[in-house]
């Protein structure tokens, strides 16, 4: 059942054990909201990162919002965020009553410190550092920059669980960090997130914030479990006379599964589902994958190594090689990005388009999230040329060869 086609975005981490855990969980609804798995996941993060507190939420954006709210910043204080990101990041800033200030990117596709210097004002109070595609930002310079300007540094580790900078775990450099367990992240429970901090005062406030949250509804939780099951069947049948595609289409139309980004979020509005507490049943899915984290990340590094060795940089611009990167996706830059994606699709391969828009996904109204067009020219240029190759652990050598063949000739 789990012989899968190349599909970068459809819960690529799902394997047989994830599937059967979701099946079993369907029949124990009394354990969906509360249970021991929540504490176990939090303890895993607390121990792994050697931090004072780890606090779980139903999404990475919920974890970020909790951090921002708990900082008790004056309303309309400015927070530096990079362009070339998901709308979930600036939305959380806006929902917290703060103002996102967009900074351009450097060659690693992470925040450019020189542009950050230019955009500082007296109202700038915090800095969110994104490790794009699992490639670490230059934390020495960023920590020094934050200290120089008395900024609170928050690490966005949504792409970077298990990544390191100079042998130190990403997520341990600032006041706090947050992680995502979204359907196509390093570890997936379809939705989920974690905030970690060594600041006891801040941690206490985040805990108090979480204690005031309700759990998502049973229907919302059911949709996440169904996502695992439907994805498993859809992938197995994807190339069988369109059966898999039909399953996905009908599931979305019937709202049996939830979308990774809600329509309200594209408009800059806050859905009622965020923030919420992390349901126990999703925590059990995350635990299952956390046990496999070192092996999964080593697979990603080996797949990235294969791409580096077999795709000629004369054809496309390859990502930077950085020690400690986990390469959640292997992102190329090419003016032929849309053409190559289409060629791949005709051959049954679904490649990725993060971040094909300066503030992803398609349709985000920039004015609603405070992005001034033209303010980050490099990010805008890179977005138009981005093409993601998969690095998920179940990718086979034959499939890797198929992908590389797109860049031959």
- The residues carrying an active-site annotation are 185
The CA distance from 362 to 338, in Å, is: 14
Largest Cα–Cα separation, the chain: 60
Dist CA 379 CA 103 (whole Å)? 9
Strand partners, 55: 195
Q: What is the DSSP letter of 352?
A: B
Angle between helices 218-236 and 16-26 (to 10 degrees): 140
The three-state secondary structure class of 82 is: strand
With beta carbons less than 8 A apart as the criterion, state whether 84 and 382 touch: yes
3-state helix/strand/coil string of 268-326: CCCCCCCCCCCCHHHHHHHHHHHCCHHHHHHHHHHHHHHHHHHCCCCCCECCCCCCCCC
Exposed/middle/buried for residue 346 (C-beta within 10 Å: 0-12, 13-18, 19+): exposed
b/e sequence 2-39, b meaning 16+ C-beta within 10 Å: eebbbbbbbbbbbbeebbebbeebeeeeeebbebebbe
d(CA 18, CA 231): 11
Q: What distance in Å separates the CA atoms of residue 60 and residue 147, rounded to the nearest whole number? A: 25
Measured CA to CA, the distance from residue 194 to residue 57 in angstroms comes to 6
What phi and psi values does residue 355 have, to the nearest 5 degrees? Answer: -100, 100
Q: Where are the alpha helices (DSSP H) in 167-292?
A: 200-211, 218-236, 243-253, 263-266, 280-290
Query: In the Cβ-directed half-sphere of 386, how many Cα atoms lie within 13 Å?
Result: 26
DSSP 350: B
């Amino acid at each position: 059942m789990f012989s899968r086609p190349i599909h970068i975005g459809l819960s690529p981490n799902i394997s047989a054990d994830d599937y059967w855990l979701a099946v079993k969980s369907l029949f124990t609804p009394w354990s969906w909201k509360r249970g021991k798995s929540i504490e176990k996941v939090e303890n895993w993060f607390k121990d792994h990162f050697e931090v004072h507190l780890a606090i779980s939420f139903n999404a990475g954006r919920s974890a970020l919002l909790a951090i921002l709210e708990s900082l008790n910043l004056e309303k309309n204080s400015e927070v530096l965020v990079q362009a070339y990101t998901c709308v979930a990041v600036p939305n959380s800033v806006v929902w917290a009553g703060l103002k996102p200030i967009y900074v351009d990117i450097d060659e690693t596709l992470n925040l450019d410190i020189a542009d950050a210097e230019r955009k500082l004002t007296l109202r700038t109070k915090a800095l969110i550092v994104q490790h794009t595609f699992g490639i670490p930002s230059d934390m020495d310079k960023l920590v020094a920059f934050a200290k120089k300007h008395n900024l609170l540094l928050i690490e966005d580790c949504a792409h970077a669980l298990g990544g390191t900078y100079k042998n130190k775990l990403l997520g341990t450099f600032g006041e706090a960090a947050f992680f995502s367990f979204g359907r196509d992240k390093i570890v997936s429970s379809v939705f989920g997130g974690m905030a970690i901090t060594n600041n006891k005062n801040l941690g206490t406030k985040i805990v108090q914030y979480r204690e005031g949250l309700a759990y998502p509804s049973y229907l919302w939780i059911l949709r996440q479990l169904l996502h695992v099951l439907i994805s498993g069947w859809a992938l197995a049948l994807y190339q069988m006379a369109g059966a898999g595609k039909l399953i996905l289409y009908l599931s979305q139309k019937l709202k049996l599964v939830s979308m990774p980004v809600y329509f309200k979020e594209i408009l800059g509005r806050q859905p009622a589902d965020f923030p919420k507490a992390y349901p126990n049943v999703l925590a059990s899915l995350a635990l299952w994958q956390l046990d496999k984290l070192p092996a999964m990340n080593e697979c990603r590094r080996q797949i990235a190594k294969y791409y580096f060795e077999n795709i000629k940089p004369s054809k496309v611009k390859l990502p930077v090689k950085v020690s400690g990167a986990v390469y959640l996706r292997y992102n190329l830059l090419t003016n032929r990005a849309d053409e190559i994606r289409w060629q791949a699709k005709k051959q049954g391969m679904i490649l990725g388009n993060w971040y094909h828009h300066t503030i992803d996904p398609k349709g985000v109204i920039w004015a609603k999230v405070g992005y001034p067009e033209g303010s980050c020219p490099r990010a805008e240029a890179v977005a138009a040329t981005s093409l993601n190759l998969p690095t998920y652990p179940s990718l086979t050598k034959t499939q890797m060869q198929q992908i590389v063949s797109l860049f031959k000739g």
